[in-house]
Amino acid sequence: AKELGRGRFSFFDFSINEKNQRLIKVKQALRSAIESSEYRLVYQPKVNPHQCVLTGYEALLRWNSQELGMVSPDEFIPIAEESGEIEKITDWVIRRVAMDKQYSAHLRHANIAINISAKQFKSDSWVNTLRIMHDSSELDVASITVEITETALIDSFEVTLEQLLTVRGLGATIAIDDFGTGYSSLSYLKKMPIDYVKIDRSFVQDIGIDPDDQAIVQTVIAMSHALDIKVVAEGAESAEQIDFLKSKQCDEIQGYYYSKPIELADLDSFILQL
């Protein structure tokens, strides 16, 4: 690609053209993904490292597109947010979690975290889905954790507050995802009904490498505890990271060190080594 200066590209820039074509393809393929049964959920364990017990799972979306093969959620979720398709996807995720809980003895009584996109907080559809499933006893919402990013707190404070109070009223647990990567101030944590802060992997992965990141992790844990909020660290891969997090009283840990996300069919025979 020939760059002509900041933000300016030559007319014949194939890389941008290719990116656009991929984007259009993904956007199109997303439209038929639900009816073609191309999605599934995988489940990654969360662990209390002090008591060495499993505390629940995070449900993570996988898309095996007939047309494009496996597409990473890091690629298609932002596109689905842009196109509005994300509402249907989240609806599908909530319903599938309820079905998977029926299927798997392991999941049935476990707490399951689901991801709600920040872009969805302008609509009540995800709240309504949870309410309907709660009222019809299809899903025990008290066993659901809702993971939202800091952006949702900032972009639409009032609406988000009301939605979080509603789902919390149904028994759901609330977690702030990717904590530390956004721009939320401490005051949001105090004003919002938040049970958990989830420290982003980018900080956790540099434990033992970057003293600044260690200081951030330690501070987030101390600050959250002072506000009576629990802490989950995500993306822990090494024993050294686990030891550090434990010594700083991190409440729960999720990461490859314990387990990668697990296919539904493998869950009931899966034994977590703790």
Chain contacts with ligand C2E (rule: CB under 6 A): 44, 60-61, 72-74, 77, 93, 115, 117, 177-178, 201, 234-237, 254-256, 261
177 binds Ca ion (CB under 5 A): yes
Residue 203: how many other CB atoms lie within 10 Å = 22
Which one of Ca ion, ligand C2E, none is in contact with 77 (Cβ closer than 5 to 8 A by kind)?
ligand C2E
Kindly tell me which residue out of 13, 124, 178, 195 binds Ca ion, with binding defined by CB under 5 A: 178
Which residue's CB is nearer to Ca ion, number 6 or number 56? 56
By CB under 5 A, which span of 18-26, 41-49, 193-201, 207-215 interacts with Ca ion?
A: 193-201
Which residue's CB is nearer to Ca ion, number 16 or number 221? 221
Residues 6+ away with beta carbon under 8 Å from 235? 200, 201, 202, 204, 205, 254, 255, 256
Comparing C-alpha atoms, which of 59, 60, 75, 74 is closest to residue 26? 75
Min dist CB 176 to Ca ion, Å, is 10
Q: Are 217 and 248 in contact (CB under 8 A)?
A: yes
Comparing C-alpha atoms, which of 201, 199, 218, 207 is closest to residue 242? 207
Min dist CB 224 to ligand C2E, Å, is 17
Which residue's CB is nearer to Ca ion, number 13 or number 91? 91
90 binds Ca ion (CB under 5 A): no
Which residue's CB is nearer to Ca ion, number 100 or number 177? 177
251 binds Ca ion (CB under 5 A): no
Q: In the numeric block, which tokens belong to residue 43?
A: 């489940």
Q: H/E element holding 4?
A: strand 3-5
**Going by DSSP bridges, is the β-strand pair 53-65/262-263 parallel, antiparallel, or unpaired?**
unpaired
Which one of Ca ion, ligand C2E, none is in contact with 88 (Cβ closer than 5 to 8 A by kind)?
none
By CB under 5 A, which span of 8-16, 18-26, 109-117, 187-195 interacts with Ca ion?
A: 109-117
Q: 5's torsion region: left (phi>0), alpha (psi -120 to 50) or beta?
A: left
Distance CA 81, CA 130 (A): 20
Which one of Ca ion, ligand C2E, none is in contact with 228 (Cβ closer than 5 to 8 A by kind)?
none
Q: Are 257 and 36 in contact (CB under 8 A)?
A: no
By CB under 5 A, which span of 64-72, 132-140, 141-149, 222-230 interacts with Ca ion?
A: 141-149
- Contacts to Ca ion by CB under 5 A: 115, 147, 177-178, 200
